[in-house]
A and B are shown apart, each in its own frame.
Chain A
Amino acid sequence: MLKKSLIALATGLALSTGAFAQDKIDIVFIGKNTGNPYFDSLTKGFVEACQKIACNFEFVAPATAEATSQIPFIEAQIQRGVDVIAISPNSPDALNQVFDSAREQGILVMTVNGDITGNESHRDLTILPTDFTKVGADQVEMVGSLIGYEGEIAILSATTEAPDQNFWIEGMKEALKDPKYSKMTLVATVYGDDQPEKSTTEMEALLSNYPDLKGVIAPTTVGVAAAAQVVQSRGIAEQVKVTGLGLPSEMRDFVKDGTVEAFQLWSPYNEGWLAAHFAVDLKAGKAKNEVGSTFEVPNLGTITINEGNSINTQSALTTFNAQNIDEFDF
């Protein structure tokens, strides 16, 4: 017994005498829900950053992505007295109150990978994977290049009220006004609620309702996989081109068998990496949370804080295709 506690004491001393241990800040990332493969990669970014710089990191997430399920987790982190809460919010407004109490305790609240649109005043900063204003145009260009800039296209989205999705869809509609795309018509926007079953039936209905459909944009990881699967199962990869935002790990098969030629995404890893670095720099006084100020992040270079206290990890989407997909392990 005594021996054990001595060892514990010794290891404790060893740890605390390590470099700057007392300055380490505590970061917690709260995902939308557990079992969501997207966050595996994002979390890895945090973990690897904290192995290099002065932070302790933990990942928690509720079992379901229901609006209020994150509240107890935020309350618990407040109680634990962490320094930074990074969160992918499940609701644009249900978390306002609890965010406020966290910030009252001096906790830095960052939304990561999605913002609380319309309630920005309740968080300190948001870290977005890419410049959301460009996503719509990029996706339209992608599908255009696949279908030869001619024919009917449709959008398979997540839920009707998902703010990011709707922002991108607006961007797509805006981009389609470009004369370059004048021969392309957007015939429908449908919603699969980010459920594989529903996304599949919606995709099937699209194909039935619009027999001349040439391309489908599914800017959601669940939707793009479901759409690809429908196309694969019907054997119509030549007629209907599916693209969108997807995870390489989920899309690898479809790219390899030719069902999907190309799709896009950003690097979730970099979101975590960047979030951790910003938090540590801010607490160390090396960065300021002010619009226009800049700071340096290894591997990513100089990062600028944009309008509305938001940071983008990369300026444009990464395109994945048969040539490069094996280079990505998320």
Chain B
Amino acid sequence: MTESAPLLLARGVTKAFAGVTVLRDVDLDLHKGEIHALLGENGAGKSTFAKIVAGVHRPTRGKLSLNGRQVDISSPLVAQKLGVTLIHQEPISFPDLSVAENLVLGQGEQGWFSRVPWAEMTREARRQMDQLGVSIDVTKPMRGLSIADQQMVEIGRALASGSRLIIMDEPTAPLTPKEVDTLFGIVRRLRGEGRTIIFISHRLEEVRALCDRVTIFRDGSKVATDAIENLDDAEIIRLMIGRPLKEYMHKHNASIGEVALEVEGLTLPGRFQDVSFQVRRGEIVGLGGLVGAGRTDVACAIFGIQPAESGSLKVNGKTVDIRQPDDAIALGLAFVPEDRAVSGIFRTLSVEQNITAAIPGRIAPRGFIRRAIEKLLAADSVRKLRIRLASVNQPIGELSGGNQQKAILARWLLAEPGILILDEPTRGIDIGVKAEFYDIIGELAEQGRAILLISSELPELLALCDRILVMAEGRLTAEIPRAEATQEKVMQAAVPRQQAGIAA
């Protein structure tokens, strides 16, 4: 690797959202012609940093220089003009426009009524796709293209606009191994052309296979930048986590009892196939795997949000048919969903209303709401879970993310569930609150509840769970007892194998 003048120079880059600092004084140099990985736990700041470089966010403080010239990247458009392109995991495109149009839209600054040079545009688009070595009919609409192909179009667009710096935010998560190989080939070729690539991933093996240098983020700060060969996996994990796991995660000693939830041959075509497992009382069962492996779909199927087409469910030994979430609730199930804003909170409604949403029968015994009961239950939850707020009548949107999540958990605890499904319960939450959550989860298990914990954070799974189930491409690929669980084992089971498709 040649040491040349840095392409990008970041100095003291800091970003705060609504008073919460998410990125603190980051200095970083990127060289021309390197593939640079950004690593870190969820919320460590790597994506925020990438978005600042790409003009999606503006830094609260700090400076960026490109090719030695200080720049103010005020919007993605400015970034593009400066030769910086961010490629999202699920590319943002115009489904109704053709591939060729998606490639050129936003380029050049001609007049409003200037002609669209269709023939030229199509020819150029074909050339670019050929260059990338992919065969896509550029006259067809984007709608219907695979995600891999959409990424290729995005990369093509970056090249067409002459980008010198291409940022890829977890590009491989939705791809098949074969597609990943193709992508890597192209990325290496881009490096060969002297372009710089920022590669964000949480898959160490990919980073090792592809990248030249890595920068590791933790809690909003940069903790290290080094050539990949100078760091071994353990060192990287240590840097990412920063302190021994045990320090803030401990498995409570709950006595494990009867089978509470039994899933047998659950199948929803296109989402997951033949999933079978059990969760016992007092047991925390982890469900790991990559994003898109079908974990959330399984949870949604169990909870009746989108029921499975075949397979059976047993709750406390009895076969049940759950068609709707309220069937599930009646059977003592609870589900804390992954995306709080979309499927958890009622943003403009009061904290109180949010907390009591799942127990209509208790707050309104004869259909009429008893304010006193409601107030009591809400206040009780706030105290127990230490939810920080000014008033239970506040709209929940005014609370911090962690406290919103606690309120959602409180909602489900009020339903007194025997079986609790938690989907990424600690995503986007401050590290301090995270620890509280781990305690709470442990306590819940001690109380004899069965817990199914879906998480992408391996340390979380390893530290909390009695058993870890792993899914890949809609199938259960491993069941690892706590004693045998290691990051490597989980990852091995999570990465889809090419033959998996054939074996089916």
A and B touch in the complex (CB under 8 A): no
B interface residues, Cβ below 8 angstroms from A: none
